[in-house]
Structure 1
Amino acid sequence: MHKTQKDKPFYFLVTATFFLSLIVVGVGAYTRLTDAGLGCPDWPGCYGFMSVPQTESQLQTAQAIYPDSPVEPVKAWNEMVHRYIAGSLGLLVLMIAVMAWARSGRPKLLSSFLLGIVFFQALLGMWTVTMQLMPIVVMAHLLGGFTIVSLLWLLRLRIQPKPLFYQDGFKTHLSLSRRYLTVLKSVAIAALIVVIGQIALGGWTAANYAAVVCTQLPICEGDWQGMFDPRAFELIQPQHSSYEYGVLDYAQRVSIHVTHRIGAIITTVFILVLAGVLWLKPPLRRYSIAMIGVLSVQIILGITNVLASLPLLIAVAHNVVGLILLLIVVTTCYRLICDCRSPLEVKYFASESATHG
């Protein structure tokens, strides 16, 4: 067994960028949950300045340019800090793309695709402000952030030292367990699709300010079935001067919230099924344990959000833990589909193949 050589500078850059992307997602969630998305009414600056206006003359100028948007320093700083960190992330991704093309053997296409997604994410950030928090843009911006983190994680998986698997023993194991592996891959992909759908529902819930309309468990109080309105899921909503604090009526917000809760139940079922199938193979049990552990934390955070009326730090954690759950499922799919398993898994499958042989 031999390993791919470790490209230390590139690996370090990708790893650092990945962790920064996690911070960006967390800060972005904090910005959204503190209603600071329009803390600066323009983009990329703030009231015409590159930073939050502070002096008396700057405040007067800002008020003259945007008379309908009084300066709220706390919200403005929340928004600008998010932009500064996101801008730093963009520069690091640009460095990744340049370094990928500067040396053979580095993932050029994935790095370039990642750079393209970051550019589009910057546009979404601009449109979030210029379109006054239009829900479809806000949801797309959230999904874009999760996509960037996932792509950085995939890139890190691609370049980390790993054994190569084109050995007779492993091929023999594949031929013996083809049905099991096919089922496992199918379940993993299905779980990934469900998790992504649930994240999108969470983004739609947040974008339409529907997170606190239901205060009882397990689904919602009142006649939520009778109130269900499919129009709540129309991606292009009627034109409004601003979408801040939401424009949908109570019944429509209940419809969104209830759908998100039902989605959470469906997601839980799929994750548990995937975890159960993974548990059947000892070297894959770590993925099963990680999934169940993170899923349990996410459920607790979701319930706490309902019972405690969306406490800020819990709500931010709910976003980040949802992202971590996505990364675990992404990792599982990558390991199964790309056959890029750990040394522990290689040892197990090789010994199993020898036993069957």
Structure 2
Amino acid sequence: MQKGLIAAMLLAVVVIGLGAFTRLTDAGLGCPDWPGCYGQLAVPQTEEHIQHAATAFPERPLEAHKAWNEMIHRYFAGGLGLLVVALAAIAVWRKQHRFIAIASVVLIIFQAALGMLTVTLGLMPIVVMGHLLGGFSMLALLFTWFMLRQRPITKPQRSGRWLWVGLLVLSTQIALGGWTSANYSAISCQGLPLCHEAWSDDYQIDAFHPLPERTGSNYEFGVLSHEQRKTVHVTHRIWAGVTALYLFILALSYIQRRHSDIERGRASRLIFVLFTQIGLGVANVLWQVPLAVAVAHNLIAAMLLLCLISLILAHYQSATKLKPLVQKETHYGEVEHA
């Protein structure tokens, strides 16, 4: 079970990276249908299949490299879905962490539905952002499941409200990053730290309308005005500052002596990943969103989320009164205590 969860987490990281790569290479509609590609299970390659694709989708000529980007992402996402369902079935059968197992299946089904809607609704920004958040949530849920198997939490004796506020702040920043990407706003601000001097004069709150009016057959390459895209981008930057300051202060408070060594260690890792993410954000601006840096920016955001979750778990686990245990699983999935 542990190895299966590790494999699922690694696969979830790959899927997040491939999702970012697909968005950044403008391959979100590389296959205009779902779940196949131009009516095939793979990208059309023969002359007959290519001709059929041109006839069936005359408005969307086949671009093989974009289609492969999209289909490879789908293959890995499908593999993750099957693995999650298998792990959940084992967990339910063994009566271990059934709630989180069932939640993971519900989430993976919802994520698959968002993947379908991403294509069928023509890259609608709210759906694209939701799909990104779903991927992050899937990774976070698998990570939590894995960590709780290492050491469960009984009734918490300590309040962790500031940690939960930090999780809300970080989640908001990830959502803003998704909205920025979904609306093609990544290069709308080229100065540092906040666009140009008169950015506030162009600030338009309607840039965050969940259902922007579509001007063409889809939302590809964005439908917002330049001023609206600047609004989205600068808001992402402002909240990035808020997020960085809050998480930095939060982590510093856990490096104090009154906390356990585990908590201090995880807080230190949180600070390291936080500054790495800040550096990647600055690099994106200075170098005009190079593909490798932009993908890394997505992946490090996921790592930052996991670091914060691990700190939350350490906070409650250090307050859980448990005797040191050496655990091993029997072939029935029960835990023996040495």
Question: Residue by residue, what CA displacement relative to the aligned partner does 1:100-157 show, whole Å, maximum 9, x if unpaired?
Answer: 11113x1111101110000010000000000000000000000000000000000001
> Could you tell me which residue of structure 2 aligns to residue 225 of structure 1?
200
Question: Residue by residue, what CA displacement relative to the aligned partner does 1:250-298 show, whole Å, maximum 9, x if unpaired?
Answer: 0000000000000110001111111111011251211221011001100
Which structure 2 residues correspond to residues 27-46 of structure 1 after superposition, within 5 A? 27-46=18-37
Counterpart-to-counterpart distance in 1, 2:135 and 2:152: 31
Please, what TM-score do these two structures have when normalized by structure 1?
0.86
State the Cα distance separating 1:236 from its structure 2 match. Answer: 1.4
State the Cα distance separating 1:334 from its structure 2 match. Answer: 2.1
Structure 2 unaligned spans of 5+ = 326-338
User: Aligned pair 1:292/2:271, yes or no?
Assistant: yes
Please, what TM-score do these two structures have when normalized by structure 2?
0.91
Match for 2:249 among 264, 267, 273? 273
Match for 1:143 among 124, 133, 137? 133
Is the 1:334–1:340 contact (alpha carbons within 8 Å) kept by the matching residues of 2? Answer: no
State the Cα distance separating 1:186 from its structure 2 match. Answer: 2.1
SS at match of 2:41: coil
* Deviating 4+ runs (over 6 angstroms): 163-166, 340-343
Match for 2:311 among 303, 319, 332? 332
SS at match of 1:139: helix
Is the 1:39–1:76 contact (alpha carbons within 8 Å) kept by the matching residues of 2? Answer: yes
Name the % identity: 43
> Could you tell me which residue of structure 1 aligns to residue 329 of structure 2?
none
Is the 1:163–1:340 contact (alpha carbons within 8 Å) kept by the matching residues of 2? Answer: no
Counterpart-to-counterpart distance in 2, 1:235 and 1:78: 27
State the Cα distance separating 1:163 from its structure 2 match. Answer: 7.9
State the Cα distance separating 1:335 from its structure 2 match. Answer: 2.4
Q: Which moved more, 1:234-243 or 1:66-75?
A: 234-243
Is the 2:183–2:229 contact (alpha carbons within 8 Å) kept by the matching residues of 1? Answer: yes
Counterpart-to-counterpart distance in 2, 1:15 and 1:67: 43
Question: Residue by residue, what CA displacement relative to the aligned partner does 1:63-121 show, whole Å, maximum 9, x if unpaired?
Answer: 000001111010000000000000000000010111011113x1111101110000010
User: Aligned pair 1:252/2:228, yes or no?
Assistant: yes
> Could you tell me which residue of structure 2 aligns to residue 201 of structure 1?
176
- The number of equivalent residue pairs is 320
SS at match of 2:42: coil
Counterpart-to-counterpart distance in 1, 2:120 and 2:240: 32
SS at match of 2:168: helix
Is the 2:143–2:306 contact (alpha carbons within 8 Å) kept by the matching residues of 1? Answer: yes
User: Aligned pair 1:97/2:97, yes or no?
Assistant: no
> Could you tell me which residue of structure 2 aligns to residue 11 of structure 1?
2
Is the 2:202–2:231 contact (alpha carbons within 8 Å) kept by the matching residues of 1? Answer: yes
Structure 1 unaligned spans of 5+ = 1-9, 175-180, 347-357
Higher helix share: 1
Distance 1:341 1:19, change over 3 A: farther
Question: Residue by residue, what CA displacement relative to the aligned partner does 1:30-75 show, whole Å, maximum 9, x if unpaired?
Answer: 1110000000000000001110001111110000000011110100
SS at match of 1:332: helix
